[in-house]
Amino acid sequence: MLETMREKLMTASSVPKPANLQMANAFKQAAESLANETDRGSVVLAAAWLDESLTSILMAYMKPTERKDDLLSPGRPLGDFGTKIALADRLRLIHPSLLKSLDMVRRLRNDFAHIASDLTFETSSVKDRVSLIFRENEDLLLVMGNLLISNGMVSVDEGEKVKIENMVKCFGTKKLFQYTCAILNSALAVVKHNLRPAVQQYNQDPLNGRI
């Protein structure tokens, strides 16, 4: 199924464009890496994928450095996932809806990483958080659902439209969460592909050589 999804994303236009290929590969790579994870592993690894993709966007936008760029590394000034989300927002690099989804995944990751109790996708609070993530990305998930229906991979009653509830019932909460995060990862790949690096805002010879 993942290969089918990848092919459909890659051929979104008559001639595969680099952006389509990157989007398809980003989806497939993330989805495959999450496929056999536990509930906790799915959340933690999904957040790591999205963190890495966001980091890649920020690094592509900012001035390059000849030294190893550890400004965005864990423990560094901009190394926290939440800080990167805020920075991307302030720099207006990413659509607010996508940033909101990233922050939802980050918060869910924190729950799984820091709370001692054994959380699962059946835990009420987790279900509530994940449902919000699904709702925030409902349009994208329904596109995926209709694509799967057209390929005979998901069935609904005749005349019934695909809904989030149908997809949860078909895949289960964990699997649909994995696919949602893979979609978010593919969206970040498109952002990076279309990104233009920051340009300098200062005059190379300020005030005719006077500071």
CATH code, domain carrying 47: 1.20.120.330
> Is residue 2, in this structure, part of any structural domain at all?
no
pLDDT class for 206, splitting at 50, 70, 90? low
Lowest model confidence (mean pLDDT) among 24-28, 68-72, 104-108, 170-174: 68-72
Is 19 a member of any domain? no
Asked, for residue 204, whether it belongs to a domain, the answer is no
pLDDT cut 90: percent of the chain above it:
54
Instruction: Kindly state the average pLDDT of the residues 60-78.
Output: 77
Q: Is residue 119 part of a domain?
A: yes
Mean per-residue pLDDT, 41-58: 96
| Per-residue pLDDT tens over the stretch 104-149 | 999 999 999 876 668 999 999 999 999 999 999 998 888 887 776 6
* Domain range enclosing 54: 27-61+72-194
Average pLDDT over the chain, rounded to whole? 84
Over residues 48-70, the mean pLDDT reads 86
State the pLDDT at residue 192: 94
Kindly tell me if the per-residue pLDDT of 74 is higher than 60.
yes
CA distance to 10, 71, 88, per residue, from 96 (Å): 25, 24, 10
78-87, 97-106, 201-210 — which is least confidently predicted? 201-210
Q: Per the domain annotation, does 20 fall within a domain?
A: no
How open is the CA angle 109-112-114, to the nearest 5 degrees?
100
- Please, which pLDDT band fits residue 70 given cuts at 50, 70 and 90? confident
More confident residue, 73 or 86: 86
The answer to whether residue 154 is domain-embedded is yes
Q: CA dist 163 to 8, 14, 154, Å?
A: 20, 28, 12
Non-local CB neighbours of 178 within 8 Å, separated by 6+ positions: 31, 34, 35, 37, 42, 46
pTM equals: 0.84
Q: What average pLDDT score do residues 10-39 get?
A: 80
Structurally, the chain folds into a number of domains equal to: 1
**Separation CA 123–CA 62 (nearest Å):** 40
Instruction: Quick: pLDDT tens for 138-194.
Output: 988 888 877 766 666 556 566 667 788 888 888 899 999 999 999 999 999 999 999
- Per-residue confidence (pLDDT) for residue 14, from 0 to 100: 45
Handedness of CA 189, 142, 149, 108 (dihedral sign): positive
Residue 199 located in a structural domain? no
In a domain, 210, yes or no: no
pLDDT of residue 31: 93
